Amino acid sequence: MIKKRLVRHFDTRLFFMHFPKCGGTSVDYAIRLHRHNNSVRHQFHMNAEAAATAARLSKMTWKAYNETLLLYAMANPQTTYITGHYFFSQTAHEHFGDTWDFITILRDPVARWFSQYYFNRNKSNQFLKTDLSLEAYLASPHGQNSAGTYSTMLEGDENNWEVDPEQTVQNAIENLNRFHLVGCLEHMDQFVTRFKERYGISLNIRNMRKNPTPNYTQRNEITPAVREKVEHLCRYDLMIYRHALEHFC
């Protein structure tokens, strides 16, 4: 007779803010395995493509619609777990920070930038897909915006990225400090340890979504000169990441 392995569960209301290409899919899957309320009605996962379409049809900015979805999910008494590519919301934290735990995972911004580019270049889905070469993407608005992913997603209610990136970084760091648990992909063992200390749960985190671009292609394209350009583009997100390394990871 084969015995089913017992899985320990926990019911803390969790908001997992998922930054693109930071291992979030794997972390999300590992967390879901330990949720008592694992049905759709208790979990709220934002589909970014559907939400972007809905925001456009509603004539709302992506950031405003994103926050509306988050506030709705947190206000719903049936919801116990939220995940997706959300922006940090100061309103959500002010009104729900005592009843919801905010957690997230960061990754070295330069590695994250390259991972997102290659994933979007070779994905089959047309949403956010790019046909640009690496050099062309570097100079494109999408490439430059991607370099400020942490800054813009963590900034909160302000919209200073294009006019005052230094202030945006300070706002982002202040908001990151409000999270209950922050991890770094490069130190996932520490995140797992601290997750267990807080929730009593041992996460088994696997690599769920592999980049479709072969490693040899990336090695040939990512020259020292290209990497230096990306590092410069990501300089503001690097400030946030270094703060996370020093204080959380």
Q: Which two tokens stand for residue 174?
A: 């202040």
- Residues 3 and 28: their CA atoms lie apart, in Å, by 26
- Residues 74 and 13: their CA atoms lie apart, in Å, by 9
Q: Which two tokens stand for residue 38?
A: 């694992």
**Residue 137 CA to chain centroid, in angstroms?**
21
- What is residue 3's predicted lDDT score, i.e. its pLDDT? 41
- Does the pTM surpass 0.85? The reply is yes
- What is residue 35's predicted lDDT score, i.e. its pLDDT? 84
The pair phi, psi for residue 51, each rounded to 5°, is -65, -40
List, in order of start, the domains of the chain with CATH numbers.
Answer: 14-247 (3.40.50.300)
Pick out the chain residues at pLDDT < 70.
1-7, 36-38, 208-214, 216-217
- What is residue 1's predicted lDDT score, i.e. its pLDDT? 39
- What is residue 211's predicted lDDT score, i.e. its pLDDT? 62
- Residues 189 and 71: their CA atoms lie apart, in Å, by 31
The pair phi, psi for residue 5, each rounded to 5°, is -70, 130
